[in-house]
Amino acid sequence: MSLAYISHPDCQLHDMGHHHPERSARLAAINDRLIATGLDMALHHYNAPLVERELLEAVHDPGYVASIFEACPGDGLIWVGGDTAMGRHTLQAALRAAGAAVMGVDLVMSGKAGKAFCGVRPPGHHAERGRAMGFCFFNNIAVAAHHALAEHGLERVAIADFDVHHCNGTEDIFAGDDRVLLCSTFQHPFYPHTGHDCKAANVVNVPLPAGADGAVFRQAVERHWLPRLEGFAPQLILVSAGFDGHQADYMAQLNLVDGDYAWVTRRLCEQADASAGGRIVSSLEGGYDLHALARSVEAHLKAFFGEI
């Protein structure tokens, strides 16, 4: 099985300020870990393209997309949300991040890769149809899902999101769309204080209390995600891969470890093997303790290879 790793130097240039937790050192830590472990040599590397604006406008309000293009400053920072800022390199990075997810879909659908991981930033799952928030500008995984449905003619796409924060943006875009099954675990009550009351039939939200460990997380996935995924039989699985539920991460209060991310990845691989020809595209979301993030991504990728 070939595993594509899609990224671009532009993603490291996006800068929301020296003390902002969503910083370029995240990608540097991942890259260093992959090189140190030798895993980098097993990956097929691709440069992320710029996403087409029409794809952004298919999942986001065109007026919102225009506002992001127009807001990008020539210098300094422009705050577009309480925690989300644009610098002069932000737009290019955001276009690359969404473009990486689209490329990942094209690679796995064409058979050029069995699976793909997008090592990109900014993340995307908080970006709603018409609002930037939570460090996110465009919803990378939602753009990928739309592309898979519209361009590749798929009828069933599943999105699995194990970030510690609820994927309010992805839910906002796909709630009620029976072509997409959205499965999410997240700490609750916690930012962005959504997901616990969604009634959409195609959304499987599993709130987890602060302090929940791997056993609680695995039980939630086994009880709530896996039966729905099996019944849905997705033709492609997309993953919003946030690693900020790690016990070492200072941004939240879950107690997951590297092995929990490997475990959930293997469960998703099993479903992909059963219904999707093994096809999975994963895109980086959260994860802010650099060492824990790098190890968790390593575990995630090794699980794709079946090593864990």
Reported confidence tier of residue 1, pLDDT bands at 50, 70, 90: confident
| Active-site annotation holder among 14, 60, 125, 126 | 126
Given a cut of 70, whether residue 245 has pLDDT beyond it is yes
The angle formed by the CA atoms of residues 144, 187 and 87, to the nearest 5 degrees, is 50
> Would you state the pLDDT for residue 308?
58
| Domains of the chain, earliest start first | 3-304 (3.40.800.20)
Reported confidence tier of residue 23, pLDDT bands at 50, 70, 90: very high
Task: Tell me, yes or no, if 126 is annotated catalytic.
Answer: yes
Q: Which residues pair with 282 in a beta bridge?
A: 117, 239
Count CB atoms within 10 A of the CB of residue 155: 10
Reported confidence tier of residue 263, pLDDT bands at 50, 70, 90: very high
Mean pLDDT of the chain: 97
Residue 1: C-alpha distances to residues 105, 113, 277 (Å): 16, 7, 11
**Residue type, position 89, single letter:** H
Distance between CA atoms of residues 72 and 148, nearest Å: 29
DSSP letters for 223-262: IIIHHHHHHH--SEEEEEE--TTBTT-TT---BB-HHHHH
Distance between CA atoms of residues 170 and 15, nearest Å: 24
| 147 in Cβ contact with 125 (< 8 Å) | no
| 292 in Cβ contact with 283 (< 8 Å) | no
Distance between CA atoms of residues 297 and 285, nearest Å: 11
- Rounded to two decimals, the pTM is 0.98
Q: Tens digit of pLDDT for each residue in 45-66?
A: 999 999 999 999 999 999 999 9
Q: Tens digit of pLDDT for each residue in 278-295?
A: 999 999 999 999 999 999
